[in-house]
Structure 1
């Protein structure tokens, strides 16, 4: 398994697909408490014809390292990995917190990003009064219950309960310090007023039933982003798990469309 030591962390990553493809590499960044396996369906589809890179962010999955206090920190990790494997320019796909990382990279280093896809992600963390109260209450309970309360809300009604329980177990395996520190980093994330500066073609894919990051918040960002394409799917927040084939199809259409 390829690894990269950077900034006190060891990042585990996959680098698959043909190196001689005419298309830029496709880079996937997972969300909070997840890991690179979120992108299994997309990796299997796209790596047949183009280079595909995905990583476990520090402290997640098989990677080590302490939690980050700002979104800029994991963004630097992603850029360090791209430098390490010789990827100068890519199509960047991020889910949830991974989308925040993608936005940070696209705003600071637009030359590195040919296209960007934000999956269930927004430019500013804004909580309703109800969710704010829920989050405050959940932080007072044991760590596993805090994770469980958040993961259950991430899926649309009707998603298999046993699968949700499996994802709760996997997420709870992420160290508490990593989860809680990054939770603070996400709460502080705010680039909404800079959405108009995003200069790369951007696809925003969101779940209609997403209560973690409601679709209306994504639409607010899309209205300010000059090259945004919006797709709404019948799902919750966990699009890569709930609607993997539909998400792959949306990515395929966007990535193959002429700019």
Structure 2
């Protein structure tokens, strides 16, 4: 693995890494924003691709910069990471909020996105997600440990979490307890609640993958079906289980879907 830094036009310093060899594959994480989310996927695919990951602004040692956090701003950060890595065009995959970011990147700079992966994400706000994240935002303000516990409990299948309970404990240990950390998460929740990708769908003409899990309780399966209806040319994979964090709990299945996307023209 080779670590590198990226400085954006508003002064955010992003911590990034590249690993493996082959065609470039950029992985963009969700609300948590850490490169570490992708460790199992990087291990599965680094023998077949040059995998690029990064921790997003304000997260895991990456600086915030001066601009407000919006999905478009975060999409520009993805482009900045690619430029710093010397990658003009890549397969780009985003999970959850990261899926909103890569949709925005594909609309704003389609020449950078050879293939588009939309994992556990959505096209437009739903009443369920609006209610869920508004509630999570309120919990964050008053009890960050409860916020972190709820996020872990709702993102993993119960049986998987029972067998891997250290994952839950680590999530609570890293709860956003200080005011600045809570502010970063709150601003990111505001950004995801404001995202609506229904305009500019014509720009998403590149080969695409939509992947979800039937038991996802954070970004439910009906939202993946909505994406598939909006992008009828995309390959659509619905896993029978895996929860919201299926790239981690169903890594082999996720990696197989990514391989199929990377092989598509």
TM-score by length of 1: 0.89
Instruction: Tell whether 2:14 aligns with 1:14.
Output: no
Partner of 1:100: 100
Residues 16-75 of structure 1: CA deviation (Å, up to 9, x unaligned): 223xx4x3x100111112411221222223222322111111111232226843101111
Residue ranges of structure 2 left out of the alignment (5+ in a row): none
CA contact (8 A) 1:107 1:198 kept: yes
Instruction: Tell whether 2:112 aligns with 1:112.
Output: yes
Residues 202-247 of structure 1: CA deviation (Å, up to 9, x unaligned): 1011011111111101211210113211111112111122111211
Residue ranges of structure 1 left out of the alignment (5+ in a row): none
The separation in 2 between residues aligned to 1:136 and 1:176, in whole angstroms, is 9
Residues 142-195 of structure 1: CA deviation (Å, up to 9, x unaligned): 222223223321122322242223233335379111100010000000013443
The separation in 1 between residues aligned to 2:153 and 2:33, in whole angstroms, is 14
Instruction: Tell whether 2:240 aligns with 1:248.
Output: no
Partner of 1:220: 226
Partner of 2:64: 65
Shift of 1:106: 0.6
Partner of 2:5: 3
Structure 2 counterparts to residues 79-228 of structure 1, below 5 A: 79-128=79-128, 131=132, 134-135=135-136, 138-139=139-140, 141-161=142-162, 162=165, 163-170=167-174, 172=176, 175-228=181-234
The separation in 2 between residues aligned to 1:239 and 1:175, in whole angstroms, is 26
Secondary structure class of the residue paired with 1:78 = helix
Task: Name which of 236, 241, 250 aligns with 1:230.
Answer: 236
The separation in 2 between residues aligned to 1:113 and 1:170, in whole angstroms, is 33
Number of residue pairs the alignment of both structures matches: 254
TM-score by length of 2: 0.87
Could you tell which deviates more after superposition, 59-68 or 106-115?
A: 59-68
Shift of 1:126: 1.4
Residues 66-87 of structure 1: CA deviation (Å, up to 9, x unaligned): 6843101111111112112211
Could you tell which deviates more after superposition, 1-10 or 69-78?
A: 1-10
Secondary structure class of the residue paired with 1:83 = helix
